[in-house]
Amino acid sequence: MLAVVQRVREARVVVAGETIGAIGAGLLVLVCAERGDTQAQADKLLAKLLKLRIFGDDAGKMNRSVQDIAGGLLLVSQFTLAADTSGGNRPSFTNAAPPDEGRRLYDHIVQQARAAHPVVQTGEFAADMQVHLVNDGPVTIPMRVPPDSAGAQ
């Protein structure tokens, strides 16, 4: 599983001119399932997201998680994170999970997030989305949960 995590002051997703998901302060997470990814990897990614200490404490140090600040979590599917640009100027997306597999894992992580965190919003799988955000910091962190570490906590 791949993700790009952005600490935001606010973020929203628009599809066909309508806002379908919006949060205030929290995390905008672009999520990508790669071929062969499992629910265990999705679970580990979510656990790391919820505990990732990238919000400032009273001393201004990155010591607080999205759960600590009761922030929002905006999960947006983005298969293009699996792009391979090593073969030329046109990216290849063969490393991305097939759409049915990607949707299953995206739906799983959303369901688990909603069970674990009070403020969860989403984009729309496979839709043409416009993502608006105010990156706070800016803080942007790439994450990858490889298959061999899925069982380790």
Q: How far apart are CA 75 and CA 28, in angstroms?
A: 6
Active-site choice (6, 41, 55, 79):
79
Of 6, 41, 78, 121, catalytic = 78
What span, in angstroms and rounded, lies between the C-alpha atoms of 11 and 23? Answer: 5
User: For tokens 């699996």, what's the residue?
Assistant: 82
Which of 80, 94, 111, 130 is catalytic? The answer is 80
Residue 79 known to be catalytic: yes
Three-class SS of residue 135? Answer: strand
In sequence order, the β-bridge partners of residue 21 are 13
Q: How far is the C-alpha of 129 from the C-alpha of 62, rounded, in Å?
A: 30
Question: Residue 77: in which H helix or E strand, if any?
Answer: strand 72-77
How many Cβ atoms are within 10 Å of 126's Cβ, its own excluded?
A: 12
Task: For the chain, report the end-to-end CA distance as a whole number of angstroms.
Answer: 15
- Has 80 been annotated as catalytic? yes
Quick check: is 130 catalytic? no
The catalytic residues are: 78-80
